Amino acid sequence: MKGKGDESWVARLGGIGWPLTMILGAAALWEILVRGLSIPKWLLPALSAVLLRIGQDAAYIGFHAGYTLYVIVSGFLAAIAVGVPIALMIASWRFAEKAFYPLLVFSQTVPKIAIAPLFAIWLGMSSLPHILITLLISFFPIVIDTVAGLKSLPLEMVHLSQSMGATRWQMFSKIRLPFALPFLFAGLKVAITLAVVGAIVGEWVGSEKGLGYVLLLANGQLDTALAFAVILILSAMGMGLFFVVWLLEKLFISWHVSERVKEIEGL
């Protein structure tokens, strides 16, 4: 008993310990290399310099990070609002599949960075073009994965619900939708990471706010420390958002296989 307990304690520490060691190791390496090789500040600033910059310009960076966060979250939510209904239509009607799929693929093959300026022209200097680009970049995996989930319901489950006299709505709400949830969440996890990219692309093309805008400024002025500060904040934001989606997944579909693997291993 004691041995088993120790093992799981070590395992648990390893669960946090390994990634933490790697991150700290990489940070230390960065600091040491930059100082040891005396790399010029405009080429690659030391980590300490970057962190210092975040501290100094906290208010400035915070304001723009707030705007970018707003764009990411709005675009992501809009992607769900658009992506899930499209997925439902595609899964429900064959003609919808035929009608939407080519358009969907087209919307993904068009380089977003190429059409982003058009959005800026059409929609002006509001947050709308930024949110739209974010939506466009992140809704695709939501559609694809939700369609896969809705379509992979076993035939026997369809037969079973028919034998219960289920209406179309009951069939959907009680069986098809819960069955598709793990797929939907897989799509959401991909989508949230893409939404971060989308927001930056949107801001790059035309904005007076946001981390994308700050990044452009910093690059233009060879303010490498600020650029790195923004990149660090961005990746922290991305990880935080991913974590939120992951938490929601755990909350909603605790019954799902990929979610309960740990539980089984822990036995």
Partner 1 sequence: MSNGTFIDIRGVTKTYPSKRGNVEALGKIDFAVQEGEFVSIVGPSGCGKSTLLKIIAGLLSQSTGEVLLGGARVTQPQANVGIVFQSPVLMEWRTVLKNILIQGEIRHLDLEQMRKRAEGLLQLVGLQGFENHRPYELSGGMQQRVAICRALVHDPPLLLMDEPFGALDNLTREQLTLDFQHIWLETKKTVFFVTHNILEAVFLSDRVVGMTPRPGRIDLVETIDIPRPRTWDLLGSEKFGHYVEKLRSMFRSQGVLCDSKDVPGKPGVAGECRVQ
Interface residues toward partner 1, by CB under 8 A? 154, 156-157, 159-166, 170, 174-175, 178-179, 181, 253, 255-257, 260
Closest CA to 184 of 108, 244, 155, 176: 176
* Of 35 and 260, CB closest to partner 1: 260
Q: How many CB atoms lie within 10 A of CB 94?
A: 9
| Residue 177: CB minimum distance to partner 1, A | 10
75 vs 149 by CB, closer to partner 1:
149
3-state secondary structure (DSSP) of residue 54: helix
Please report, for residues 95, 109, 240, the alpha-carbon distance to residue 200 in angstroms, rounded to integers and kept in the order given.
Answer: 35, 19, 17
223 to 178, 197, 207: CA distances (angstroms): 49, 21, 19
26 vs 164 by CB, closer to partner 1: 164
Q: CB of residue 85 vs partner 1: minimum separation in angstroms?
A: 22
Least distance (Å) between residue 251 CB and partner 1: 13
CB of 9 to partner 1, least distance (A): 25
In whole angstroms, the minimum distance from the beta carbon of 148 to partner 1 comes to 17
* Shorter beta-carbon distance to partner 1: residue 57 or 259: 259
Give exposure, 240-256, as e/b (b: 16+ Cβ within 10 Å): ebbeebeeebeeebeeb
User: What's the CA gap between 224 and 217, in Å, rounded?
Assistant: 10
- Tell me the one-letter amino acid at 52: L
Query: Residue 263 has which token pair?
Result: 């539980």
| φ, ψ dihedrals at 101, nearest 5° | -60, -50
Query: Closest separation between CB of residue 164 and partner 1, Å?
Result: 4
Nearer to partner 1 among residue 9 and residue 255 (C-beta): 255
Residue 174's Cβ-side half-sphere holds a number of Cα atoms within 13 Å equal to 13
Judged by beta carbon, residue 138 or residue 161, the one nearer partner 1 is 161
CA gap 57, 53 in Å, rounded: 6
Q: How far is the CB of 257 from partner 1 (least distance, A)?
A: 7
Q: For partner 1, which is the closer residue by CB, 56 or 254?
A: 254
- Count H helices and E strands in the chain, helices first: 12, 0
